[in-house]
Amino acid sequence: MKKRSYKDIEDYLEGEKRSIEGDAMEGDKKFKETLELFTMLKSLPGKPAPRDFERNLYKRLGISYVPVYRKVLILAGLSIFSTLVYLTGRASLRFVSSKITLTTVSQFFSQVYTKLAQAVSLVKVGGHLKDIVLAFTNPWLFVAVAFVSSILMLMLIGLSQEAKKKTVLLRRF
């Protein structure tokens, strides 16, 4: 029997039977052993690198490293957030668009205008009040105002007393 080389067996395993006939080899003991050896060597289970291998390596290399699970979590979080934003936006758009008509829009703008006008007038009143308060800080002005207002009060009291009578004597003034 012709002596078989390892190259022949390699070719046989790769499906290239040019240099060898499979049937003739199958009775060969060495062929069987080698075939088994080659098949086993090819299917020899490997051992993956430890889980923290990449993290430690990137740390040593000064490369930023995001683990797969964190990437997945970030992606999932972002997709959930974007979905929520999209759904909320769509719902609010639908809600608003269902409410909007020409009258509601004009009403809305007039309301806004009124509110703004109220706010402006409040600010103006505030300004006047400030001026009044500041005016009272001048004692002479305060005395003058008190004097005038007391005379006015007396006049009002007098008038009210006269009003109780049936005839009002305007001549007195």
Q: List residues near other proteins by CB under 8 A.
A: 6, 30, 33-34, 36-38, 40-50, 53-54, 56-58, 60-65
Residues in the chain, overall count: 173
Rounded to the nearest 10°, the torsion over CA 104, 105, 110, 114 is: 90
The distance of closest approach from Cβ of residue 34 to other proteins in the complex, given in angstroms and rounded to an integer, is 6
Residue 56 vs 114, nearer CB to other proteins: 56
The distance of closest approach from Cβ of residue 35 to other proteins in the complex, given in angstroms and rounded to an integer, is 10
Residue 56 vs 106, nearer CB to other proteins: 56
The structure tokens 């979080």 sit at 77
The distance of closest approach from Cβ of residue 50 to other proteins in the complex, given in angstroms and rounded to an integer, is 6
Residue 54 vs 162, nearer CB to other proteins: 54
Q: Which residues contact 4 (CB under 8 A, 6 or more apart)?
A: 20, 25, 28, 30, 31, 34
